[in-house]
Amino acid sequence: MHDKINVCLLNDSFPPVIDGVANAVVNYGEIISTKNLGKATVVTPEYPGAVDGYPFDVVRYPSLSTEQLVGYRAGVPFDAKIFGKLEKAGFNIIHTHCPVVSTLMARTLREKLDIPVVFTYHTKFDVNICDMVRSKLIQEAALHNLCANIQSCDEVWVVSRGAENLRGIGYEGEYIVMENGVDFPKGRVTPDEAMEVRREYGIGQDERVFMYVGRMMWYKGLRITLDALKKLKDAGHAFRMVFVGSGGDHDEVVAYAESLGLSDCVFFTSPKYDRNVIRAWYCRADLFLFPSTFDTNGLVVREAAACELASVLVRGSCAAEDITDGENGFLIEENAESMAKLLAKLCHEPERLKRVGRQAQDEIYLSWDDAVHRAQQRYEAVIEAYRSGHSEPRRSLAEEYYETLAACAAALKRSRAHLRDHWDTFAEHFQ
């Protein structure tokens, strides 16, 4: 194939939002645009205070304030002016990173432009839906639409081999593993840079420091970490713990740490937008604590590895896929007792921590350059298959719409029958 890649990158989150998927999209855009791979345009919802000084185009469409409900703004993508602009951009492939609004937009663009759509499954969206919505009826409808969106794409990528969750929501097609990379170079920051971050919080040079970077959400395993630290403190071990990030559960997490009496050894920073500052924190820490079973890839684990920092992960989780216990990381069971026992042991083994950190860097580090170059090669294969007619035919949005209406009608019918049965049972008691 001789055409340069001209890719439309769609995602519901993008800076100023900080999360792993937003980070991935930024790196896709920068590397494609600056490493002579082609042209990239990011299409994402409007966000207050957003400043888009990137080496690639950013097109923002209207959005609604839903941060309190879901932690993100909700995009309203069907804007005629926006679509008119995108139709003239000369895209030859669309890459969507969210299976909801972004993929609906991707499907609409595909019908207008006759180009293929690639979707990357980054995280467990069904968990988010079930966490936000209590109604089983609405959950079923939302998951049906989510799966239909994914099924409609010309190729599906996952960021780790642990994609069984994708099967769990009903997806039956093929997928390809395309791992995310890290925008940190291999190696540690200077001693002065590491000293600067510890000085801000009064951390001594020889103090044991544990660290977490990511969204402040309970489903990230944060309760396990705090409960383990409580046990560690009660056993007389000295340490400091730093949480870097923000999220919907931030205030609850802080309050819980205070209730455990951890305020003197656990502290929470505001979100860090300067990647060099985050890198300095990784280099100052002795161990990265990430007991999440939610994440499908655990980009932060690779970031830690770039800085020779070993991670503590839950055995069998997606984030722990490439980890050999005691060699390039540490594995625990999904409970506080297991983590506390490990941390108590490692507090007295500083040389082992350094050795495992170095091995993590050697074995699990992957640069974004390498990851995006691989993706670009895959783009070319997808475009070629689409142009040659070898892609599977996809249903139109209109067909999907009527199928969804039929599914909703059937669900409502079942719900009415269920309520009627309960009412009949209730009435019998009063006859």
The pLDDT tens digits of the residues spanning 154-204 come to: 999 998 876 667 777 788 889 999 999 998 999 988 888 888 887 878 888
User: From CA 155, how far away is CA 95, in angstroms rounded?
Assistant: 10
Residue intervals of the chain classified under CATH 3.40.50.2000 are: 5-181+370-394, 191-365
Average pLDDT of the residues in 83-90: 94
pLDDT, average across residues 252-277: 92
Q: Whole-angstrom Cα distance, residue 253 to residue 125?
A: 22
**Strands 74-75, 155-158: pairing kind:** unpaired
* Fold exhibited by the domain 191-365: Rossmann fold (3.40.50)
Q: What is the pLDDT of residue 380?
A: 96
Architecture of the domain delimited by 5-181+370-394: 3-Layer(aba) Sandwich (3.40)
Answer yes or no: is pLDDT of 401 > 50. Answer: no
Residues 68-77 as b/e (b if ≥16 CB within 10 A, e otherwise) read eeebbbbbeb
pLDDT band at 142 (very low <50, low <70, confident <90, very high): low
Which residue has 């900080």 as its token pair?
18
pTM score, whole prediction = 0.76
What is the pLDDT averaged over residues 93-107? 93
CB 383, CB 116: distance < 8 Å: yes
Examine the pLDDT at 378 and tell me if it is beyond 90: yes
Confidence bin at 136 (pLDDT 50/70/90): low
Q: What average pLDDT does the segment 222-239 reach?
A: 97
* Cβ pair 97, 120 in contact under 8 A: yes
Please state the φ and ψ torsions of residue 335, each to the nearest 5 degrees: -155, 160
Check whether 297 has a pLDDT greater than 80.
no
